Amino acid sequence: MIKSELTRRGLLKTGAVAGAGLALPTIFTARANAFTNEPKADTVTFGFTVPQTGPYADEGADELKAFTLAVKHLNGEGDGGMLSSFSSKALNGAGILGKKVAFVSGDTQTKPDAARAAAKSMIEKDGAIMISGCSSSAVAIALQALCQEAGLINMVGLSHSNDTTGKDKKRNGFRHFFNAYMSAAALAPVLKTMYGSDRAAYHLTADYSWGWTQQASMQAATEALGWKTVANVLTPLAATDFSSYIAPVLSSGADVLVLNHYGANMVNSLTQAVQFGLRDKMVNGKQFEIVVPLISELMAKGAGANIKGIPGSSNWNWKLTDAGTKAFVQSYGKEYGAPPSQAAQTCYAQVLLYADAVARAKSFNPCAVVEALEGYKFDGLGNGPTEYRAADHQCIKDCLVVKGKETPDNQFDTLEIVQVTPASEVTYAPDNKMFAGGDLGQCNPGA
Amino acid sequence: MDALILQTLNGLDKGSAYALIALGLTIIFGTLGVVNFAHGTLFMLGAFCAVTLQRIIGISETIIDPTKKDFLGNPLKVEVPYLQAWFGHDTAAAITNWSVPLSLLLTVPVMVGIGVVMERGLIKHFYKRSHADQILVTFGLAIVLQEVIKHFFGANPIPTPAPAEFAGSIDFGTMLGFPPNAIVYPYWRMIYFLFSLFVIGGVFAFLQFTTFGMVVRAGMADRETVGLLGINIDRRFTFMFGLAAVVAGTAGAMYTPINSPNFHMGMDFLVLSFVVVVVGGMGSLPGAVLSGFLLGILESYASMNWIKDIIPGIDQIIIYVIAIVVLLTRPRGLMGRKGVMED
């Protein structure tokens, strides 16, 4: 028979010794690492957080394809894609600083809390050194804050809210994608040419960070043209039926509907607006028009014939003819049988830009990467000459005004490029009031 | 006034979907005593029957057109539907155009099959278990089924247009003396409302005027006594499960032009439909229908701008507020029966 001699004092002593023992490796590890998840082995892991469900799942699927392709190219597999056109030659297709690149991915569900949980798991369990990807600015802002706290670099995916590099900007976060202000600045002159300066606009707006800033930017830009704003109605991100929001539009006196919606939200709201016959109506003696400030090829595909003739803006389009775009479209098209979307291009570019910054800095230390990216000027990634502005970590570059193509030549021919608006016409001061209130803070290497 | 009429019309199509799903839920609960959390999934499966037919119609052979180039600069691959090759362009175009209404021919047998398999294969084992067990197993089944759909069809909404003849909208306002564009309502939503009235009327007529329906109603009221009369009430109840699945499935198939279907659409409707059933009164078929339309219309009213200016966000919670008010003032719901879901 075994007799237990366990006493309260004995239990406390044993617990204290065991606790100290368990804590020791962590302390040693923390001291041994100069920064969070410093890669020790011959592999470095990236964490890709993309929406695989929810209203932006289409973009998420394309982002993951682009990430996979970028990792392949970094590791010297495939045709190298935009590595050949990229102005920097620090990457040679042999991984980064001699380490092979691996990645883990997780579903953000287009929800900030789910995205944080996925990214946290990647950081703590998988040892991710960098987090990238998202299709929602609410998610982007949450991930940027998480990476700032954890001491990682966040290469923001598809995020278009002014706040991402405005009031919510972080030193450890970098955005390649353009923003709502730039969209409105590019789109407004084209809208004036298409529809004149005497218009009354009704806004339907996704009720979160991106929608708010997109609407504010469009309202400011169109009112500067002479347009009036009749109403701005906020719609929930999770909404699928917009009929009760669309029904009052025609009787409101508005002759333009601005859909500040993205992804499946926009596909549904545009489809339902067309069902209500908005585009067939004459209001105030003018043809009723619909504007979608941010359009992607994937949304155009989802909207089908309803997108024809609808103007909007894009960060990039596969029909551009520069060397970077050509290389990327060839590479992506051969791999997946379809041209890449703007979500794919921005995510691919972000991975290359991060890897290049590490290679130039000769370190994975986030603060060295920040230093390498701030004020960095580059070309050859599909958007023409671009600068990662040091003051707010926003890429300043050309952006596109596009329109749903009336007579598509094939299933991928959904959008036509109306004009490439030069960076000089869409740039703004970092302290512009639409971006006010934020502070990059200090770089955090973590650990 | 015109805004009220407009939102009433708007509420009718939402209410139609709520009423059809709640009707099926109530049939299953009233006959089998099962709280079926997979019912929204049946709505979704019906919608995907329409998508499946669209895909079948679109099955194509690939022909290389050397005169055109694709985006990679290779000779363009042109997809020519077999339907077009077999029946000519006009017939193929007509079938494609009418694919949603035609999908009912596929939806009905498929949903009967799914309903019977679901009831015989799984749910019958839970008749005598607690409602908590039933909810867990049917909710689990719902998740499994939607993941299966996600695997085969992806996570994104799939455009499923109505026939071109029903594209656009009718200007009711001018008929009622209002200025043009005051009350505009899409044709297909009107069709959906009429379709729901037809299905609801059919189900009620079936239960009211057929011997089978009479036995089912008797079984719903007193299952034991009907069994003692030598009637195999279980078999009839299995049929009713299949009927409920058909009602939900056809509701889903016809809903696809209103909202592009995705794997999650069943869950979007499920919670609302349970609220509809509870507000209408557990086990009451007229209650489910009345409550479905009522809540659909009130939800539309709540999304009017001037109401949202007074109570921001009311459009998101109105259904639950009404549920609370109804349950506080009429604990059995609007038309609930004594003894149902009560100890």
| Nearest to B202, CA basis, from B119, B285, B258 | B285
Bridge partner list, A45: A102
The secondary element (H helix, E strand) that includes residue A232 is strand A228-235
Domain boundary among A314, A339, A357: A314
Q: How many CB atoms lie within 10 A of CB B124?
A: 16
Q: Give the one of B157, B299, B304 whose C-beta lies nearest to A264's C-beta.
A: B157
Is A356 part of any domain? Answer: yes
Cβ–Cβ contact A329 with B under 8 A = yes
Is A33 part of any domain? Answer: no
Domain boundary among A314, A334, A357: A314
The answer to whether residues A53 and B268 touch, using CB atoms and an 8 Å cutoff, is no
Is A280 part of any domain? Answer: yes
Rounded to whole angstroms, the Cα distance separating A150 from A408 reads 47
Instruction: Say how many CA atoms lie within 13 Å of A260 toward its Cβ.
Output: 32
Residue A14 pLDDT:
55
Residue A238 pLDDT:
81
Q: Which of residues 41-80 of A touch B (CB under 8 A)?
A: 52-54, 57-58, 61
Question: Do residue B258 and residue A241 have CB atoms under 8 angstroms apart?
Answer: yes
Count interface pairs A-B at CB distance under 8 A. Answer: 112
Helix (H, G, I), strand (E, B) or coil at B285: helix
Question: Do residue B71 and residue A52 have CB atoms under 8 angstroms apart?
Answer: no
Residue B253 pLDDT:
97
Is A52 part of any domain? Answer: yes
Residue A7 pLDDT:
55
Q: Give the one of B11, B157, B308 whose C-beta lies nearest to A302's C-beta.
A: B157
Q: What is the pLDDT of residues A170-207, one digit of tens each?
A: 999 999 999 999 999 999 999 999 999 999 999 999 99
Looking at the fold, whether A207 and A285 belong to one and the same domain comes out as yes
Looking at the fold, whether A166 and A218 belong to one and the same domain comes out as no
Question: Do residue A410 and residue B70 have CB atoms under 8 angstroms apart?
Answer: yes
What radius of gyration do chain B's Cα atoms show? Answer: 22
**A252 or A127: which carries more pLDDT confidence?**
A127
| pLDDT higher than threshold 90 for residue A334 | yes
The residue among A79, A244, A336 with the most chain B CBs within 10 A of its CB, best to mutate, is A244
Segment A4-17 mean pLDDT: 54
Bridge partner list, B63: B78
What is the domain range of residue B267? 2-55+104-329
Joined together, the tokens standing for residue B269 give 């409707």
Lowest mean pLDDT among A128-137, A315-324, B328-337: B328-337
Looking at the fold, whether A256 and A336 belong to one and the same domain comes out as no
**A66 or B30: which carries more pLDDT confidence?**
A66
Domain count, chain A: 2
| pLDDT higher than threshold 70 for residue A28 | no
Q: How confident is the model at residue A32 (pLDDT cuts 50, 70, 90)?
A: low
Looking at the fold, whether A55 and A174 belong to one and the same domain comes out as yes
Question: Do residue B7 and residue A264 have CB atoms under 8 angstroms apart?
Answer: no
Is B205 part of any domain? Answer: yes
Looking at the fold, whether A156 and A74 belong to one and the same domain comes out as yes
| DSSP class of A398 | -
Residue A12 pLDDT:
55
What is the domain range of residue A143? 43-178+318-392
Is B256 part of any domain? Answer: yes
Token pair 């109506």 is at which residue? A281
Domain boundary among A392, A408, A425: A392
The identity of residue A123, as a single letter, is: I
Residue B321 pLDDT:
92
Residues of chain B with pLDDT under 70: 338-343
Residue B2 pLDDT:
74
Question: Do residue A275 and residue B188 have CB atoms under 8 angstroms apart?
Answer: yes
Looking at the fold, whether A310 and A295 belong to one and the same domain comes out as yes
Residue A15 pLDDT:
54
Question: Do residue B316 and residue A268 have CB atoms under 8 angstroms apart?
Answer: no
Domain count, chain B: 1
Looking at the fold, whether A174 and A256 belong to one and the same domain comes out as no
Is B33 part of any domain? Answer: yes
Residue B309 pLDDT:
82
Is B96 part of any domain? Answer: no
Sort strands A43-50 and A282-283 into parallel, antiparallel or unpaired.
unpaired
Residue A447 pLDDT:
78
Summary mean pLDDT of chain B? 88
Q: How many CB atoms lie within 10 A of CB B269?
A: 26
Q: What is the pLDDT of residues A253-273, one digit of tens each?
A: 899 999 999 888 898 899 889
Q: How many CB atoms lie within 10 A of CB B171?
A: 18
* Concatenated DSSP letters of A300-318: HHHHGGGGBT-EEEES--T
Looking at the fold, whether A186 and A305 belong to one and the same domain comes out as yes
Is B339 part of any domain? Answer: no
| Nearest to A316, CA basis, from A9, A82, A71, A151 | A82
Report the CATH number that the domain containing residue B175 is assigned in CATH.
Answer: 1.10.3470
Question: Do residue B260 and residue A243 have CB atoms under 8 angstroms apart?
Answer: no
* Concatenated DSSP letters of B86-135: HH-HHHHHHHHHTHHHHHHHHHHHHHHHHHHHHHHHTGGGGTTS-HHHHH
Residues of B in contact with A53 (CB under 8 A): 150, 155, 264
The answer to whether residues A287 and A234 touch, using CB atoms and an 8 Å cutoff, is no
Is A422 part of any domain? Answer: no
Rounded to whole angstroms, the Cα distance separating A264 from A299 reads 7
Is A401 part of any domain? Answer: no
The answer to whether residues A425 and A419 touch, using CB atoms and an 8 Å cutoff, is no
Residues of A in contact with B168 (CB under 8 A): 275, 277, 280
Is B71 part of any domain? Answer: no
Residue A6 pLDDT:
47
Residue B342 pLDDT:
56
| DSSP class of B163 | P
Where b means 16+ CB within 10 Å and e means fewer, B46-67 reads: bbbbbbbbbeebeeeeeeeeee
Looking at the fold, whether A259 and A377 belong to one and the same domain comes out as no
Q: Give the one of A54, A248, A281 whose C-beta lies nearest to B3's C-beta.
A: A248
Sort strands A173-175 and B169-171 into parallel, antiparallel or unpaired.
unpaired
Summary mean pLDDT of chain A? 90
Q: Please state the ipTM of this predicted complex.
A: 0.79
Is B334 part of any domain? Answer: no
Report the CATH number that the domain containing residue A98 is assigned in CATH.
Answer: 3.40.50.2300
Instruction: Say how many CA atoms lie within 13 Å of B286 toward its Cβ.
Output: 6
Is B230 part of any domain? Answer: yes
| pLDDT higher than threshold 70 for residue A13 | no
Joined together, the tokens standing for residue A399 give 């952006």
